[in-house]
Amino acid sequence: MNTLRPSLDMELITKILEIKPKYITTTAFLNLLLEDAYNARCKNEKNMALYIHKDNKFENKKLDNKSLDKELERKEQKEKINKKEKQEKNIPDDLLHFQTLIDDFWKVKKGSKSIQAWKLQITEYRKFIDKYGEQVLRDQLEAGILAGTWKGLKMSHYEEQLKRVKRFDKEPEKEVIHPAQRVVQFDEMGNLI
């Protein structure tokens, strides 16, 4: 069990010690009070995550109306931009069955995530399907997700890798034997064959 030693106000500790039963340790009583307060807060707040993670910038700072308006305007602009990007990054109908793989790859990929990069990737996905089939695209997306460091899928990179692999798949050519390496054979009598 991990423990934390927070600093507490001495007046608060004094008040708590006055109501603490004698048969409970101070630590146990403080834990009990904290748990009761937490449970009460959870019952009052329907979504505790909103309470914990709510934006306290406006509560902590005394902002005048102008700066408050500017802050709200910036948030609205960010939301509009995010909404616009989501709309423009729709997966075409012919690639919908790859949606989860494409989304997962897009989340982990490095490099640009602009709308132009999105359009170029969609074009590359279609090139893979046209030339090598859907299974190769699926394999490439999965490899990109696993690597997590790819900047994108490109047909040229895939073909370059294929050339490297095929280079080692060739059977070795018959080597020309130097006369000094010739195997000498003798018959039963010891004569040179």
pLDDT band at 79 (very low <50, low <70, confident <90, very high): confident
Residue 56 has pLDDT above 70, yes or no: no
**What is the spatial distance between Cα 156 and Cα 164, in angstroms, rounded to a whole number?**
13
125 shares a domain with 69 = no
Considering the domain boundaries, does residue 187 fall inside one? no
163 shares a domain with 142 = yes
Helix (H) or strand (E) holding 6: none
pLDDT band at 72 (very low <50, low <70, confident <90, very high): confident
Domain with 42 in it: 10-53
pLDDT digits 0-9 by tens, 131-161: 999 999 999 999 999 998 899 999 999 999 8
Considering the domain boundaries, does residue 190 fall inside one? no
Determine the pLDDT at residue 58.
Answer: 47
Considering the domain boundaries, does residue 5 fall inside one? no
Q: pLDDT exceeding 70 applies to what percent of the chain?
A: 78
152 shares a domain with 110 = yes
82 shares a domain with 40 = no
101 shares a domain with 74 = no
Report field, pTM of the whole predicted structure over 0.85:
no
Report the range of poorest mean pLDDT among 29-33, 53-57, 114-118, 184-188: 53-57
141 shares a domain with 77 = no
148 shares a domain with 124 = yes
Q: Which two tokens stand for residue 124?
A: 């590359």
136 shares a domain with 104 = yes
DSSP 110-174: -S--SHHHHHHHHHHHHHHHHHH-HHHHHHHHHHHHHH---S---HHHHHHHHHHHHHHHSPPPP
**What is the spatial distance between Cα 184 and Cα 165, in angstroms, rounded to a whole number?**
38
Considering the domain boundaries, does residue 41 fall inside one? yes
Q: Find the mean pLDDT for residues 75-91.
A: 70
Q: How many domains does the chain divide into?
A: 3
Of 103, 113, 112, 108, nearest in space to 82 by CA: 113
Considering the domain boundaries, does residue 175 fall inside one? no
Indicate the SS3 state at residue 89.
coil
Considering the domain boundaries, does residue 4 fall inside one? no
